[in-house]
Amino acid sequence: MRILSLGNYARDGQESMLRFAALLRQQLPARGVELRPCDPAVGLGRLTGSTVQGAGKWFGYLDKYVGFPAALAWRLRRDAPAVVHIADHSNALYVPWIRRMAPRVRVVVTCHDLLAVRYALEEADAEYRIGSTGRAQQRAILAGLQQADLVVCDSEATRRDAERLVTRGQARPELRVVPLCLNQPYRALPRDEAWARLRQAAPTVPQDQPWILHVGSSQPRKNRPLLLRLLAALSEIPLIAVFAGERLTAAQWALARELGVADRVVEVPGPDEPTLEALYSAATALVFPSRAEGFGWPILEAQACDCPVICSDVEPLPEVAGPGGAWVVGLDDVPGYAAAVRAVLRTPEATRPAARANVARHAPEIMLDAYLDAFAAALRL
């Protein structure tokens, strides 16, 4: 089976998506797949420091949406793939071009979430409002998903969104659920090894008192203010909150000062994978109170490091955590989170057997076999 693997534009900085595509490209050939990578080349985007905003964003658009379609047409003719796999649904807007250039090729798209599409459609539960260019881009992504042969969803929650948004009218792509696996070989580090790393990479993390960990960005849906309110609710415990990823916003720091917990906040900006592994291995618990997620990789990462997980009850987080693999708390239920932290402090190993079993269910070989089945199914359509 020859597959053209369409990945992300490197300058967009979507690290998790780049790692996902790299995992498939590294592992599928050992299962008999002739897999050929095809990514938008960085051309004009090299002229600026960032493709996220300003002129760099527009140069990136030219690379992705003007230069790349011609290169994609050439690759389709040269490689003659049976399947094109688009590893990130944000590139689904290439599907109509693939349909025109190679109508017999089957197209499989991995859909990690439909959050941005929902925001662009201004659904009632959406927290963002996207500009006109962003709305047009998300409409094009949705139209591309509707023209795919098969859409692979990371979770049941994303599949439900896809049933509602993608399979409208005459659009009837087949939908499948293939949960993600760990994209890094995380493991529970011995305490001495974890702290040796943290003393070098994150020396402000306290070694002599309990601390909860949040991994991710400062986007509103990540619900970081809940951890600040949780610190205030647990004033009787010398608890620290460690935020790994983006720095807190000015508004979040203002809330920390208002609650009187600013001195109990530690930032670890942009940690690398070894540092993250050490943070998970040493933390009292990962607190992951998100309002919306497509999957929730930090939950699996923490479980692989034997770190207790406390997460919101918003799907797909309980699905990702697995039965009994985490303390699951109602969204914004600060007393519930406080009770979960106290439970972790009393019995930190309570969820460990279920969490380890859940990590085993998300082994890379299971995901890769499921993708092989999906590609074969697309050829039968």
Does one domain contain both 37 and 169? Answer: yes
Say what the pTM is.
0.91
Structural domains in the chain (count): 2
One domain, residues 297 and 156: no
Contacts of 48 by beta carbon, 8 Å cutoff, 6+ apart: 54, 55, 56, 59
Give the residues across from 174 on adjacent strands: 150
106 phi/psi in degrees, rounded to 5: -85, 145
Task: Assess whether 268 and 283 both reside in one domain.
Answer: yes
Q: Does residue 186 lie in a domain region?
A: no
Based on the domain organization, do 337 and 375 belong to the same domain?
Answer: no
Predicted local distance difference test score (pLDDT) of residue 167: 85
Going across the sheet that includes 327-329, the strands are 265-269, 240-245, 211-216, 285-288, 309-312, 327-329
Give domain status of residue 12, yes or no. Answer: yes
In a domain, 211, yes or no: yes
325 occurs within a structural domain? yes
Instruction: Examine the domain organization and report whether 240 and 277 are in the same domain.
Output: yes
Q: What is the pLDDT of residues 225-276, one digit of tens each?
A: 999 999 999 999 999 999 999 999 999 999 999 999 999 999 999 999 999 9
**pLDDT (0 to 100) of residue 98:** 96
Query: Is residue 78 included in any domain, yes or no?
Result: yes
Q: Are residues 227 and 131 in the same domain?
A: no
Report the CATH number at residue 108. 3.40.50.2000
Q: How far apart are CA 208 and CA 177, in angstroms?
A: 43
Phi, psi angle pair for 247, to nearest 5°: -70, 155
Stretches in the chain below the pLDDT threshold 50: none
Asked if the structure places residue 265 within a domain, the reply is yes
110 plus 71 within the same structural domain: yes
Does residue 169 share a domain with residue 82? yes
Query: Are 25 and 77 part of one and the same domain?
Result: yes
| pLDDT on residue 193 | 97
Residues 65 and 42 in one domain: yes
Cα separation, 198 vs 196, whole angstroms: 6
Structural domain that includes position 153: 2-181+363-380
pLDDT, tens digit (0-9, with 9 covering 90-100), for 131-188 = 788 888 899 999 999 999 999 999 999 999 999 999 876 668 999 999 999 888 999 9
The predicted structure's pLDDT at residue 50? 54
- Whether residue 271 contacts residue 240, with contact meaning beta carbons closer than 8 Å, is answered with no
* Together in a domain, 338 and 247: yes
Do 94 and 113 belong to one domain? yes
- The helix/strand/coil state of 154 is coil
